[in-house]
Amino acid sequence: MVGRSHVLTSVPADGGRGVIVAESPFYPLDPFWPDQPGDVGYLQSDGLEMRVVDCVTGAARKSGGELLLGVDVPVRRGHPDWHWVVVHVVERSVPPGTEIRMLVETDRRRAFSAGHTASHLTALALNAALAGRWEAPAGTERDGLGHPDVAASGAVKSRIVLNGSVDTYRFPGLAAETLPDVAKDMEARLTAWIDSAAPVVVDAAGPDLGDRRVWRCALPDGTAARPCGGTHVNHLGELGRVAVTLEPAEAGDELLVEVRTS
C-alpha cells in the first residue's frame, strides 16, 4: 500500500518522533480496544527513507489543547469533540510541509487483515456453536445470523495475530468436555463460510480516523454486521483453510479461542 502526502507536524512519541501527515494509508493501533497492531513501513522523501516502527492513534480537543497519544487520550476513538490523527513513529522529525511517499508493509497488513476478518467470523461461529450448548444470559442481543451474541457479551480481550486471532471470552459454567465438539462445529461453519467467498465491506461514515465504521459480511445464512475500526480482507476466499482451538484460560471461567488461517 502506497500513499502520498505532506507533513503537518512532528511530536515526541515513544522515544522517537511521531509524524503527522495530511492523509495516511497507515492503520494506527486503537488504544481503547488494542486488538490489531499498528502498521509499520516507510516514509520516503528526496532520497531519505525512514522506517515507521509503529503507528498509533493521536487526538486533540477540537476546542484547543495539546495532542495526546495512545492511552493518554481519555475518550474512545471517534469521540466527536476530538480531532483524530494517525501518528507514524519514526526516529527523527521531518519538517512540516515536506512531501512524502508512504509505504505500508503490505504482507504484514494483509496477514493482520486476514486475522481480523477471521476473528469476526470466529465470533459468529462461536455464537452459532454455543446456541443450545450454553445458556446465554437473559437479554443477550442476537447477531446477524439470529444466534444470541454471546461473543459480544462475553468478550474480555481480542488479539489479532498474523493470519489469525487469539480471543478471550467469559462463559461461566461452560463445561470443558463440550469444547472439542464446539471447536469442530465452529470449524465446519467457518470452512463453509470461507468456501462461499462472501465479500467483506467496511462502511465508513467519512474519511477521517474518527468516523464510525461498520464491518459487514453477507454470509450464506445471513448478513453479519458490527462496528469495527480495523482492516479486513476483500472476500472470505482470501482466508484459505482454518483451524480452531478452544481451551480454558487460567482465570476460571475464561475461554481462549484461537483461530489460524492458511
Our finding on whether 118 is near Zn ion (CB under 5 A) is: no
Our finding on whether 121 is near Zn ion (CB under 5 A) is: no
Neighbours of 117 (CB within 10 A): 27
Please identify, among the stretches 4-12, 25-33, 183-191, 227-235, the one whose residues bind Zn ion according to the rule CB under 5 A. 227-235
Our finding on whether 148 is near Zn ion (CB under 5 A) is: no
99, 6 in Cβ contact below 8 A? yes
Please identify, among the stretches 45-53, 226-234, 235-243, 250-258, the one whose residues bind Zn ion according to the rule CB under 5 A. 226-234
Our finding on whether 52 is near Zn ion (CB under 5 A) is: no
Our finding on whether 164 is near Zn ion (CB under 5 A) is: no
Amino acid at 10: S
Find the shortest distance in angstroms from Cβ 33 to Zn ion. Answer: 8
Q: Specify the residue, 33 or 84, whose C-beta has the smaller distance to Zn ion.
A: 33
Our finding on whether 123 is near Zn ion (CB under 5 A) is: no
Q: Which residue is nearest to Zn ion (CB)?
A: 228
The CA distance from 255 to 171, in Å, is: 7
Specify the residue for cell string 464510525. Answer: 212
Per-residue contact string for residues 169-208; x = within reach of Zn ion by CB under 5 A: ----------------------------------------
Please identify, among the stretches 58-66, 69-77, 137-145, 229-237, the one whose residues bind Zn ion according to the rule CB under 5 A. 229-237
The CA distance from 39 to 231, in Å, is: 10
How many residues bind to Zn ion according to rule CB under 5 A?
2
Please identify, among the stretches 5-13, 126-134, 225-233, 249-257, the one whose residues bind Zn ion according to the rule CB under 5 A. 225-233
Torsion of CA 213, 217, 218, 223, to 10 degrees: -70
Residue choice 130, 174, 228, 257 for contact with Zn ion (CB under 5 A): 228
Our finding on whether 78 is near Zn ion (CB under 5 A) is: no
The CA distance from 106 to 111, in Å, is: 9
3-class DSSP assignment, residue 251:
coil
Q: Specify the residue, 18 or 230, whose C-beta has the smaller distance to Zn ion.
A: 230
The 3-state secondary structure of 60-81, one letter per residue: EECCCCCCEEHHHCCCCCCCCC
Buried b (16+ CB within 10 A) or exposed e, 66-102: ebbbbeebeeebbeeebbbbbbbbbeebbeeebebeb
The CA distance from 215 to 232, in Å, is: 9
Residue choice 41, 70, 148, 230 for contact with Zn ion (CB under 5 A): 230
Residues that bind Zn ion (CB under 5 A): 228, 230
